Structure 1
Amino acid sequence: MRHWVWLGVVGLGLLGGAVHAGEPRARVRYTGQVNLNEATAAQLDLLPSVGQKAAERIVAWRQKRPFKRVDELVRVKGFGRKRMLRLKPYLTLQGETTLQAERVPGPAADKG
C-alpha cells in the first residue's frame, strides 16, 4: 500500500512539472543596497528571503539598539550566519536605501 501512495505522489509531481515545462521561469535580480538602520519594513521586505515578519523583527531590533556592523544581523531572531552572508552584499549602514528587485526571464527552454 505504501508503494502505491509513493508512486501516486511521484506521479503527481511529474505531471505537475510537465504542465509548466514549456514556460520560462522568471528570476529576480537585485541591485542596490538597504540601510539596516534606516530602511522601512517594506524596503527590508524586498531583500531576498526576507518576508514581512522578518523585516518587522529587524525594525524592532534596531529600535532598541542600532546596528553598528552588518554582521550583527545574526542577533535578530531568524537570521543565522548563512542567511546573513547571503544578504550581506545588499546591506549597508551608510547612505540611503537603493535596493530594487527586477524580474528577469530565466534561461530559455530547451527546444531540441
Structure 2
Amino acid sequence: MSKKPFAVLLLSCLAVLSFNVSAAETSQPAASVTEQVQQVSGLINLNTADAATLEAELVGIGQVKAQAIVDHRNSNGPFASVDELLEVKGIGPATLEKNRAKLSVN
C-alpha cells in the first residue's frame, strides 16, 4: 500500500482544520448600529440606546434604572432633551449631571 494517498489525505485534513481555527479566532460579533454610532459620536442617544448599553455606559445607572429609561421612552415617546431624563423615576439631578456630557437625543 502506498503512503502517498494517506499523506495527501492527512495534509488536506490539517489544512482544513487550520483554516477553521484561524477563522474562529478572527471572527468577532458585529456591533449593532447603535453601538457603531455611539463609537463614532462618543454619545449615547437616549432615544435609541437599549437598557444594556445604558447600564454599561452611564454612571450610577444599573439594570433597574436603565430599564426604567427604556420603559419611559416606550410609554411617553422619544426624549426631546437630555433634561427630560429627570422625569424617569429614580433619576435625579446628580445622576443627570454625572452623565450629561455622554448623552444626546439625536
TM range (shorter): 0.5 to 0.7
Q: Give how far 1:44 is off.
A: 0.5
Give aligned pairs, total. 64
Q: Residue in 2 aligned with 1:92? A: 104
Q: Give how far 1:81 is off.
A: 1.1
The structure 1 segments of at least 4 consecutive aligned residues displaced by more than 4 Å after TM superposition are none
Q: TM-score, normalised by structure 1?
A: 0.54
Which structure has more helix as a fraction of its residues? 2
Are positions 1:59 and 2:70 aligned together?
yes
Aligned-residue CA RMSD (Å): 1.3
Q: Residue in 2 aligned with 1:73? A: 85
Point out the structure with max Rg over C-alpha.
2
Identity %: 41
Q: Give how far 1:56 is off.
A: 0.2
Unaligned runs of 5+ in 1: 1-30, 95-112
Q: Which has the higher contact order (CA 8 A, sep 6+)?
A: 1
Q: Give how far 1:42 is off.
A: 0.5
Partner SS state of residue 67, structure 1: coil
Unaligned runs of 5+ in 2: 1-38
